[in-house]
Amino acid sequence: PPLYKQRYQFVIDLVKKYKPKKVVDLGCADCTLLWKLKFQTCIEVLAGVDINRAVITDKMYRLSPLPCEYLQPSERPLTIKLYQGSVAEKDPCTLGFDLASCIELIEHLETPVLEKFSEMVFGYMTPAIVIISTPNAEFNRLLPGLNGFRHKDHKFEWTKEEFQNWAQDVCSSYNYTVEFTGVGKGPPGTEDVGFCTQCGVFTRSYPSEGSLTADSCRDTEHSYKPIYNVVY
Ligand code: SAM
């Protein structure tokens, strides 16, 4: 399957493993991953955030219940919410999630924005699991005809070491641990290059503080704009 589908499957497999009830996709773009996650029956709240409103609204109506879902409502509650907002900004609507996915997002962030992203995800949202994927720059030499970055909007593409150093720093600052893997293998003999897409699966090292206090919600102003909300 194409690489983007392998990345979505990577998230789906982790959802199957950890069975989170509340999942948020940061940089959800056209909601393809959310649409796939909707069929994971452990999930009761599914949210998407992207800075680009047009890219979200383009296909978001496929998240609406299907006629058969109206006729035969499932036992589990399911709410899907979409927001326009930046991952550099805190918003109380990002609190209380068990798992956050950030697929091919960080390489689009300028250094100061990336720092705010780390603080917002690992210091403010504090989900039990965070999944981050980003291109592995070392793999680029296996991609014929590529010169420069894989996409013109990329602010950087990291080697395995660069990504792992960044991830370890995040873990020591915010009390998480991380395991590295990836998706997309090169041809035999190129194993040292690593995966085409490198992934870090971060796990919070401390227990959840339980239900959110009203205070922590009141502390931050809303900066995200709700653009879609459907209750199954
Ligand atoms: N996660 C999707 C996927 O894997 O198909 C989309 C990846 S796309 C390469 C990167 C997305 O991140 C874009 O939709 C872009 O609008 C979004 N993005 C970039 N900067 C952002 C920011 N500061 N806050 C939220 N989303 C952002």
Query: Mind listing the domains of the chain with CATH numbers?
Result: 3-231 (3.40.50.150)
Specify the residue with its C-alpha closest to ligand 1, atom 10.
105
CA torsion angle for 140, 146, 148, 152 (degrees, to 10)? Answer: -110
* Ligand 1 proximity of 107 Cβ (cutoff 6 Å): no
**Pairwise CA distance, residues 43 & 39, whole Å:** 8
**Ligand 1 pocket mutation, candidates 108, 125, 152, criterion most atoms within 8 A of CB:** 108
pLDDT tens digits along 140-164 = 999 988 889 999 999 999 999 999 9
Q: Looking at residue 216, what is its pLDDT?
A: 58
Between the alpha carbon of residue 232 and those of residues 69, 90, 119, 127, 221, the distances in Å are 8, 27, 33, 24, 28
**Pairwise CA distance, residues 174 & 168, whole Å:** 10
* Ligand 1 proximity of 104 Cβ (cutoff 6 Å): yes
**What string of pLDDT tens digits covers the 232 residues of the chain?**
899 999 999 999 999 999 999 999 999 999 999 999 999 999 999 999 999 999 999 999 999 988 888 788 778 899 999 999 999 999 999 999 999 999 999 999 999 999 999 999 999 999 999 999 999 999 999 998 888 999 999 999 999 999 999 999 999 999 999 999 999 999 999 999 999 999 999 999 999 876 555 555 557 789 999 999 999 8
**Pairwise CA distance, residues 190 & 105, whole Å:** 26
**Ligand 1 pocket mutation, candidates 50, 152, 223, criterion most atoms within 8 A of CB:** 50
Strands 197-204 and 176-183: antiparallel
Place of tokens 């689009």: 108
**Pairwise CA distance, residues 222 & 225, whole Å:** 8
Task: State yes or no: ipTM above 0.95.
Answer: yes
SS3 of residue 20 by DSSP: coil
* Ligand 1 proximity of 149 Cβ (cutoff 6 Å): no
**One-character DSSP codes across 121-144:** IIIII--SEEEEEEEBGGGGGGST
* Ligand 1 proximity of 101 Cβ (cutoff 6 Å): no
> 46-82 burial by CB neighbour count: b if 16+ within 10 A, else e?
bbbbbbeeebbbeebeebebeeeeeeeeeeeebebbb
